[in-house]
Amino acid sequence: MTHARNTLVLDIGKSNAKLVLIDPQGAVRWSAHCRNTTVEDATYGFRALGTARLADWIQRAMTQLPKGQAPGRIAITAHGAAFCALGDDGLVLPPIDYEWDGYGDVTAAFDASLANFSHHGTPRLPQGLNAGRQIDFVHRRWPDMAARIRACLPYPQYWAWWFTGVACTEVSSLGCHTGLWAPGEARFSDWVSARGIAPRFASLRNAWDVIGTLRPSLSSAWGLPHDIEVIAGAHDSNACLARYMREHPDAAVVSTSTWCIAMAPGGDTTRLAPQRDELVNVAVDGRPVATARFMGGREFAGLCDGADPAWATANALEAVIDEGWMALPSFADSGGPFMGRRGLVLQHGEPVSGGVAAVPERLRPAWAALLCGTPAASQTVILEGPLANNEAFCAAMAGILAPRPLWRSTDELEGTARGAWMLAHWSEPPAEPADGQLALVRPLGAAVRERLRAHVHRWAALVARSVP
């Protein structure tokens, strides 16, 4: 390969997708963004991921790469709970959107398999968040179509295939609350074996493995060299975790975006509570990772209710505490520790009429940050994603965690994209150390911190009384 060792990262989240060109020193040279939307598929009657629209956007964006800045490698990271079925001519059917909920009783047998949490580390989740439910649904609803499947692969690896024509799968996506993987045994789950579908999955590769080069048709259309390498890619939250696995192997990482994911390498996976959406994730190196999650980005946006997130300051947080505003979860209905419970607005412990609108607009962003920022951890915590730049969120977390340290990423890139870039350099670690882009969050003053903790204790007591 004679051209520059730039890396192009394709980072696909549930709400947004981006392409980022990163030079060998880790600096962003170019980027493009688009909203990620789903489509109602009239043929099959389910809501599908918008793969065609995303592919069209990639095709257009790739022609805008800066002249003379061709990538040497392409790395992909994408959200979980999505699998693609390939036949001889590409997709057999569109991938199902995990927020679609039309399964009925078709997948009752799969749901029963989720009772064995100690085996697969997967809680029973709503909609299609257990991706095994999607696969089981396709095989039961359309058995003739399922017979045409030549390779089943997770969403990051679907895009790796789109770039290269090489099909593969990878453990961080296989083990992402799917029910398909046994993390403690590093193999497919008993359900996969019993259903006889293990041979349908594409071959297993490491997230950092080069699986092939850019398809000639794409390199020609984009005017790029033919020898651009593509790596297998990873599940987005696990790409974020991979960013810190070498420099901070024992730190808990909280990745914030549409989902807030707390991952604790080395944590005790035998004490997790699956009914609270705690689960065993699988890191890119195959190790089981104790994990908890909730739909924090949606929760935050719903509680802001149009108020400017920039108003989430430490002073506003203090006012929220002094005025006694609380929110009992939850205000987003996809997963999390309080699944199926309708959110409630309180002031000084009493429900208020008017709901979210009753909270003064100037305080809503800090109030939302307080609900989303009440962690418990026994180790150093690293905060990633949009909420790492939210002053009230950081202040609340640091105040609750103290004296344990809280670090926040100051990187211009979110951890998912930075982690994908690092995976592209896995065998040759990049020059820029990850800990050069972390800032220690200073906790609130002692008096405010005590009021914050008292507020959180009252909140926890109310939650404990109202949630089974």
Round to whole Å and give the CA distance between 274 and 123.
5
pLDDT in tens, 292-306: 988 888 889 989 999
Strands (E), 314-390: 325-328, 344-347, 350-351, 381-384
Round to whole Å and give the CA distance between 7 and 117.
38
Phi, psi (5° rounding) for residue 324? 75, 25
Is residue 147 classed exposed, middle or buried when 0-12, 13-18 and 19+ CB atoms within 10 A define those classes? exposed
What per-residue confidence (pLDDT) applies to 2?
A: 38
Question: Is residue 18 over pLDDT 70?
Answer: yes
Phi, psi (5° rounding) for residue 449? -65, -40
Nearest to 148 by CA among 83, 93, 203, 81: 93
Kindly provide the b/e burial profile for residues 30-69, where b requires at least 16 CB atoms within 10 angstroms of the residue's own CB. Answer: bbbebebebeebeeeebbbbbbebbeebbeebbeebeeee
Spell out the domain ranges in the chain: 6-235
- What confidence tier does 430 reach under pLDDT thresholds 50, 70, 90? low
Residue ranges in 149-223 assigned as alpha helix (H): 155-164, 171-174, 190-195, 216-222
Round to whole Å and give the CA distance between 34 and 431.
30
Question: Is residue 372 over pLDDT 60?
Answer: yes
Q: Cis omega before residue 429 (within 30°)?
A: no
pLDDT average, residue stretch 63-68: 93
What per-residue confidence (pLDDT) applies to 76?
A: 98
pLDDT in tens, 200-217: 999 999 999 999 999 999
Nearest to 232 by CA among 313, 171, 273, 317: 171
pLDDT average, residue stretch 368-373: 85
Name the β-bridge partners of 187: 182
Q: Class for domain 6-235, per CATH?
A: alpha beta
Rg (CA), the chain: 22
Q: Which residue has the tokens 């990049």?
A: 430
Question: Is residue 345 over pLDDT 80?
Answer: yes
Q: What is the largest CA-CA distance in the chain?
A: 67
Round to whole Å and give the CA distance between 445 and 257.
28
- What confidence tier does 250 reach under pLDDT thresholds 50, 70, 90? confident
- Kind of pairing, strands 381-384 and 252-256? parallel
- What confidence tier does 402 reach under pLDDT thresholds 50, 70, 90? confident
What per-residue confidence (pLDDT) applies to 435?
A: 53
The pLDDT mean for the chain works out to 92
Amino acid identity for residue 455 in this structure: H
